[in-house]
Copies of this chain bind each other. A is one copy, B any other.
């Protein structure tokens, strides 16, 4: 694929937001080039001038589609879904179902993940002297809060299927699976969330999800 015409993902192997976009690209069968941006080395490569020109927020991921720059992981996933319509759809058609999928995705993207971001944990350490064990408790707290509601909304609704919405993967799964990966990283007890666990197990068996996992990325450190 040429650099000009193809898709290029600026990301980081362990970033939950980049992981979402990788799943979406794989589900839609879109090949892409990975450009690693190391979030810690060199004072954080996302703060470098060249990267700032791509994204003044100094956050990853960024998607380059030919000459077009798309920012924010959720906006990127919806962009891919709209710009590459012929492929697997990541949002269902009825407005009601779209709203349910987006609301589930936003539990993760608006109410869990933003609180457990690297820059937020860095602020807690730097400005408030919050020790590591308390920062981990903070991270677990917001994951458990979010998953409690997410589980309830899955368990109560008959439209939950093999995936969050029916038997096709959607934006909700695209957000959920990276958050479950993070939950494991923070040793969150997942036993109160059986539906989340079932969907996570199902998804992780599929190549689109398996190939997107952090450890499978070119910039992941060797095991």
- Could you tell me which A residues sit within 8 Å of B by CB distance? 55-59, 68, 70-72, 74-76, 78-79, 82-83, 95-96, 98-99, 102-103, 106-107, 109-111, 113-115, 120, 123-124, 127-128, 130, 134, 137-138, 141, 145-146, 148-149, 152-153
A138-B123, A148-B56 known; A82+B95 contact, CB < 8 A: yes
Query: Nearest 8 A-B pairs (CB), nearest first?
Result: A75-B102, A79-B99, A114-B114, A57-B149, A56-B152, A72-B103, A82-B95, A72-B106
Instruction: Identify the interface centre among A75, A99, A106, A120: most chain B CB within 10 Å of its CB.
Output: A99
Q: Are A106 and B75 in contact (CB under 8 A)?
A: yes
Cα(A82)–Cα(B57), bound, Å: 29
Cα(A98)–Cα(B159), bound, Å: 28
Cα(A76)–Cα(B145), bound, Å: 21
The distance from the CB of A36 to the nearest CB of chain B, in whole angstroms, is: 22
Residues of B within 8 A of A149 (CB): 55-58
Nearest residue (CB) in B for A146 is: B57
Cα(A114)–Cα(B149), bound, Å: 16
The distance from the CB of A55 to the nearest CB of chain B, in whole angstroms, is: 8
Task: Give this chain's copy count.
Answer: 2
Cα(A191)–Cα(B95), bound, Å: 40
A109-B110, A115-B114 known; A79+B98 contact, CB < 8 A: yes
A56-B152, A128-B130 known; A99+B115 contact, CB < 8 A: no
Cα(A40)–Cα(B167), bound, Å: 40
Cα(A72)–Cα(B99), bound, Å: 9
Q: Are B114 and A102 in contact (CB under 8 A)?
A: no
Cα(A153)–Cα(B138), bound, Å: 32
Given contacts A78-B99, A79-B96, A115-B115, 18 further A-B contacts (CB under 8 A): A56-B148, A56-B149, A58-B149, A59-B111, A70-B103, A72-B102, A72-B107, A74-B110, A75-B102, A82-B98, A82-B99, A106-B109, A110-B110, A110-B114, A111-B114, A123-B138, A127-B137, A128-B134
